[in-house]
Every structure is written in structure tokens, then in C-alpha cells.
Amino acid sequence: MSKKAIPQIAGTIFCNSASQGNDGKVNCRGVFTSFLAWAYPTSIRSWNAILTIYDLDEATTTISAAISYGQGKETKLATANIQRGKFDIGNVINIPLRYRFENEGFHLVHFTVEDSIASLRVPVKVTTKPWPNFTKKQLQFLKENSSVPHSLRMNILCSKCSRPFTLEESVLPDEKLAGGVLPFPHTGEIECESCGHILYVRDIQGQLRDSIKNAVSESMRGGK
């Protein structure tokens, strides 16, 4: 006679990507504590939540994940099914999450074991980064040093119809773009030609400018 187990969510970490091996262990890459944002709404952020759960029942257990901000209501993010491991030494589950942030500051990620009172609420912070502007000196350096990229491209998909777009950010003026490549619009919004969905791209533009700025700062300091 076995008693019905009462699951407990013991903790979580967030990381950029993760994969689960046959031994049940999860390899995480890029564990982070804050989302950095250059504009709102942000681009859709994808990340992984790695949860430790004890005392799972023998039946399949469903975990749901949601997010909330301030007094706002919860937005459902994902559900995942988990089976108890062979050896009941605790279970690790990798739940992929996706969300577009509308606000800076603390958000709460809620994990709930369905049909149970087991839950965990984890704060995660969204930090606004200043818009990456370039000094005259930095722009001059970029003109003179072709080994440091002054432009970057990003392929993005329409989140509604999956139409692909290639966007390029160049910090030097008068740059001719290759065919099919779009500049970032001043409005920060692109309307998908196929389905009319609005894509918010100013946050991505900020990320690209930030990585160009970091590369030029490092090169000017004598790094590689």
C-alpha cells in the first residue's frame, strides 16, 4: 500500500538554453537573473526554467507556468508533463518559456503542479538598458577599422505566420543594404506583409547596437 505522494517544487533557475541527457540530468547554458531590455514591448524572449521537484506521484504530473506583473493577472506561459524518475531522488524538469515583456521591474513566474497545492513563485527582473549611442570617436574608429563590424543582421520570424525577415543595423550612415535586407524602422514596428501582424523590433535593434558598441569599446581599449 503506497500513499499518494505530495509533490514539492524545491526550486528553479533560469537559463538561455538547456538540454536533458538520458541520465535525467540537465545541462544549462547561460544561467541568468535579469532580462535586459532596450525598448518595450520587448522582442519575444525565450528561455528555460529548470525545476527541481520531489515526491512526484507515479502517474504523469503536469506543471503549468504563468507570469504576472504588479497587480495584473497571470498570463499562462507553458505546461509540461513530467514522469517520476526510476530512482526517487528528486526530479529535474526543463520547461521552455516564451514571453514578450511590456514593463520593466520585477515580474513573478508562477509554477503550479496541477491537481495539487504545490507551487512556487519566483521573481525575475527586467532591467532597462540605455539606448546605445556612439561617440564621434567611436564612429571614426569604426570607419578606420574594418575588422570591427559596424553592422549586424538578425533574422526574425513573424510570430503569427512565420514569414522570415532579415533586418540590418548599421551605425555608419550611407550604408547600402543587400537585396531583401531591411533597415530597422524608426517607429520600431514592422507590419508583416503576409498577415498584418505587428512585429516590435526596437528592442532587438538595441541589442545589436549594444553588441557593436561593446566590440568597438573593447577594440579601442586594445583588446581583440
Under the binding rule (CB under 5 A), the answer on residue 160 touching Zn ion is yes
Least separation in angstroms between residue 66's CB and Zn ion is 26
| Residue 205: its H or E element | helix 202-220
| Cβ distance to Zn ion smaller for residue 124 or 158 | 158
CA 216/CA 123 separation, integer angstroms: 34
Judged by CB under 5 A, the residue of 39, 56, 158, 216 near Zn ion is 158
Site string for Zn ion, 8-37 (x = CB under 5 A): ------------------------------
Contacts of residue 135, defined as CB under 8 A and 6 or more positions apart, other chains included, come to: none
Q: 3-state DSSP call for residue 145?
A: coil
Helix axis angle, 202-220 to 136-144, nearest 10°: 80
Cα distance from N-terminal residue to C-terminal residue, the chain: 66
Collect all residues with Cβ–Cβ distance below 8 Å to 133 and sequence separation of at least 6.
none
Q: Which is nearer to Zn ion, 111 or 200 (CB)?
A: 200
Q: Is 181 in the site for Zn ion (CB under 5 A)?
A: no
Which residue among 84, 163, 185, 219 contacts Zn ion (CB under 5 A)?
163
> Which residue of 59, 161, 172, 181 would you call a contact of Zn ion, by CB under 5 A?
161
The one among 192, 198, 219, 220 contacting Zn ion by CB under 5 A: 192
Binding stretches for Zn ion (CB under 5 A): 158, 160-161, 163, 192, 194-195, 197
